[in-house]
Amino acid sequence: MIVVDGTLKRRLGVWLLATVGILGACLLVEAYTSAQRAADRAYDSQLEAAGLTIAEAIQWQDGRPIVEMPAAAFQILATDQQERVFYAILDTNGREVTGNLDGAVTPAWQRDAEDESVWMTVQHHGTPIRLHGRELTSAGWESLDPVQIWVGHTLSGREALAGDLFVRTLTRFLAMVLVAGLLMLLAIRTALGPVRRLRQLLRQRDADDIHPLHARVPGELYDMAETLNALLARQREGRDALLRFTADASHQLKTPLAGLQSTSELALQSDRPDDWRQALEAVHGSAARTSRLAGQLLSLARLRHAEETSLAATDLPALLRDTVMEWAERDVAQQHDLGLTPLPDAPLRIQGEPWSLREMIGNLIDNALRYTPPGSEITLGLERHIDSVTLSIEDDGPGVSDELLGRLHQPFERGGRQDTQGSGLGLAIVDSIARRHDAVMSVRNAPGHGLWIGIRFPLLTEET
């Protein structure tokens, strides 16, 4: 049963959108921080320029600095956001010469400014401001006493600039995402093109067209295309095997039916009751063989096409003993020496179907009875291995040539013998049952003469 679990297009789209979203979030964070840094650099440059302008306006009188705040300094700091401007001029003792910071510059800040320019964001009367301080060691011609110049303003201007820069970046980013989304849809559609072409190629094929696929596919679809070709190859083999089996079955059924027809025609042409009786006996024997052949054909078809059923734990020695005892009592086995080797006392359990295992053992025995002369010995037994058990049957008949051993499991294969009443289906049924039980059938000539057939089953462990 095939269940639709989404689409490849949707999955690719989701993953690509997730990737773009994560990268986009990182880029937006970087854009925001870059906008903040750019705004800080721009406004910090204004603070620094304003500080230098104030420094140029410092004059000395009686060893003290006198400052008239230049209008240029305020023009430098003027913005559209109407920033509040703060400044302070400190003498060498840290006293505020002029300014509106109201003693906000702490001694610690003054010590920091002695070494290098200071930049900081602080709270002044509850309002965050950006403050810049620097010390000048040669502020005038009459004195070399250092003075510190502190300049600051509120943050609304730089925040507005940072927001404007970020909005511009965001606008460009959203436009880029929209274009990327359209290109992504086009890329997904193009990338899935080979899948659509392969689907159309399969849909256009006739139901009985099982020839290999011929198509150009990308590397990712190569394994799937090869798997489809392998499946089609197995279907071809199965169809050819079915056609051969049907042809052989038709031939096998046609021969006895033709014999029945000719025997009945000869009997109808005769007026003698003895001829009629002989014809009836011939018809009865031929009908029995045909019935057996039809039964074996049905068994083989049932085994090869039956659905998987649940197997149960089966005691193989007990089943073998019962089946051999049943066959030993039949008339067909009276002219042979049918027996068992000593069986293990402990149960040997396998996963199996009792009815099909009985059918397998019966076909092994029937095959040996039909292809060995009267008086032959036929021996069945079990051999225990570490994790498996082998069920074997051995006879002292004429055996089979080595070149035919590998073909005995094929339907209608009689090992080159045409002097028997066998149909050639017995070992084919045995092989099908063995495969159904994950077992392996082996065939070899017995030492001296005769034939040995073994089926090796996996044993059930105690945990199983």
Intervals of the chain under pLDDT 70: 1-4, 60-82, 137-144, 241-256, 285-286, 288-310, 406-407, 409-425, 448, 462-464
* pLDDT of res. 139: 47
What CA–CA distance (Å, rounded) separates 235 from 95?
101
Could you give the C-alpha distances from 356 to 44, 86, 410, 464, in angstroms and in order?
Answer: 94, 102, 18, 22
Extract the tokens encoding 452.
Answer: 């040995």
Sketch the domain layout of the chain as residue ranges: 9-163, 219-303, 310-458
Q: How far apart are CA 442 and CA 425, in angstroms?
A: 16
Pick the CATH number of 310-458 from 3.20.20.80, 1.25.40.10, 3.40.50.300, 3.30.565.10: 3.30.565.10
Can you tell me the distance from the alpha carbon of 379 to that of 397, in angstroms, rounded to the nearest whole number?
12
Asked if 380 contacts 390 with a C-beta cutoff of 8 angstroms, the reply is no
For residue range 293-336, what is the model confidence (pLDDT) as tens digits?
666 666 666 665 555 556 788 899 999 999 999 988 888 888 88
**Cα–Cα distance for residue pair 457/368, rounded to 1 Å:** 21
> Would you state the pLDDT for residue 254?
65
Report yes or no: 434 and 441 within 8 Å, Cβ to Cβ: yes
Distance, CA of 95 to chain centre = 78
Q: Which H or E run contains 370?
A: helix 354-370
**Burial readout 417-455 (b: 16 or more C-beta within 10 A, e: otherwise):** eeeeebbbbbbbbbbbbbebbebebebeeeeeebbbbbb
Q: Take residue 131 and report the two structure tokens written for it.
A: 């403050």
CATH architecture of 219-303: Orthogonal Bundle (1.10)
Neighbouring CB atoms inside 10 A of 77's CB total: 22
pTM: 0.47
Where is 441: in which H helix or E strand?
strand 440-445
* Range list of H helices, 192-328: 193-203, 219-268, 273-305, 316-328
DSSP assignment letter at 217: -
| CA 291 centroid distance within chain | 50
**Predicted local distance difference test score (pLDDT) of residue 416:** 44
Contacts of 56 (CB under 8 A, 6+ apart): 70
DSSP β-bridge partners for residue 150: 88, 133
Q: Crossing angle for the helix pair 156-191 and 193-203, nearest 10 degrees?
A: 30
pLDDT tens digit string along 358-405?
A: 888 888 888 888 888 888 899 999 998 888 999 999 988 887 877 777
Residues 136 and 138: their CA atoms lie apart, in Å, by 6
pLDDT at 351: 87
Structure confidence at residue 456 (pLDDT): 93
Q: Yes or no: say if 323 and 361 are a contact pair by the CB < 8 Å rule.
A: yes
Q: Are 423 and 293 in contact (CB under 8 A)?
A: yes
Contacts of 435 (CB under 8 A, 6+ apart): none
- Cα–Cα distance for residue pair 193/92, rounded to 1 Å: 80
Instruction: DSSP for 101-141, please give it.
Output: STT-S-HHHHHHHHHS-EEEEEEETTEEEEEEEEEES---S
- Has domain 9-163 been given CATH number 3.30.450? yes
For residue 270, what are its two tokens?
């005769």
Q: How far, in Å, CA of 290 to CA of 49, rounded?
A: 116
pLDDT at 118: 87
444 has which bridge partners?
452
Q: For residue 288, how many C-alpha atoms fall within 13 Å in the half-sphere facing its CB?
A: 7
